[in-house]
Chain A
Amino acid sequence: MNLREIKEVLQAEVLCGENSLDVEIQFAGGSDLMSDVLAFGKPGILLLTGLTNSQSVRTASIIDASGIVYVRGKKPDEDGKKLAKEMGIPLLSTQYMMFEACGILYNKGIPGVSKLRE
C-alpha cells in the first residue's frame, strides 16, 4: 500500500510531501512518546502520532521514517512543518483517533513493527 492509498483510506489531508505519495509503506507504528518510537521504530516505518511539535518530525528523520500521519485532526506546528519540508518527510493529517487510524491500516494489511522481527 502506498501513501496515496493510505491518504484515501484515512481520508487524510496532505500537509506536505505531495510528490512523495507513491512511496510504499511496509509497516507502521503509533505512539505519542518519541522515546518509544526511537526504541521500537525501524527505518521505513510510517509513524502515527498525536504529538505535533517539531520533535515528531525530528524523531521521524532520525529513524528514517517514510512519513507521519497526525491523528485526531492534529497538525504539526510551523517549526515541524518547515523541518519536514527540509527533510523531505511527507506529513498527513487524519480526523480518525489513534486507535481507529491504526485499526484501519492494520485491517488493510499494514503490519506493526513486531511482525518484522524474525
Chain B
Amino acid sequence: MMESEYGLSEKFTIKGGDFSRAGAISTKVKKILQELGIPPQIITRTAISSYEAEMNMVMYAKEATLTLNLTPEAIHIKINDKGPGIEDISLAMKEGFSTATPKMREMGFGAGMGLPNIKKNADKFELSSVLGEGTTYNIYLYLDGNK
C-alpha cells in the first residue's frame, strides 16, 4: 500500500473464472475504507459498485486489475481487464440486458443489473471498451457526500 499526504493507492489482481474468490477484493476495499473512517453510506455504495464490477471481471474477463485510489476529495476505483470487451456499451447499461451464461446465473448474478447498479451507486461512472481486448471502468465517489 502506498500512503502519502494525498491519500492512498492500492492495486489488486482479479482472476477471471475464479468464482470461489469472487468478492474477496471488494471485501478488502471495504475494510480499508472502514479503517480510514470513511462515512458508512459512502462505504456501502463503494462496496456495492466494486463488488458488481468484480463479479463482471470474474464472469467475463481473463484477468483484471482493480486499483483503489483515495484522495481527500474522492474514492476512485479503476478497473482494467483483458477480456472480450463490450460490443454496445449503451445496450450493456440497460437494466435487464445480459449476456450471462447459466453458470453465472447460478451464482445469483447475470440478470443485467450489474452495470446499472454501479451507475446508481457511483457519483460518476465511465466505461470504455475495445472489442476483443478489454474493458476499463472508472468509478468515482465523492467524499463531500453530494451525489
Contacts and interface: CB of A to CB of B under 8 A. Distances in A.
Contacts of B120: 39
B112 to A, nearest CB: 8
How many residues of B sit at the interface, in one of the four size bands? 20 to 34
A53 B22 CA distance: 11
A32 B108 CA distance: 6
B106 interface: yes
Contact of B113 (A35, A51, A62, A64): A35
Interface SS of A by simple majority: helix
B4 interface: no
22 contacts: A33-B111, A34-B108, A34-B109, A35-B117, A36-B111, A38-B52, A38-B113, A38-B117, A39-B113, A53-B106, A54-B20, A54-B22, A55-B55, A55-B108, A58-B22, A59-B23, A62-B27, A62-B44, A63-B48, A64-B44, A79-B20, A87-B27
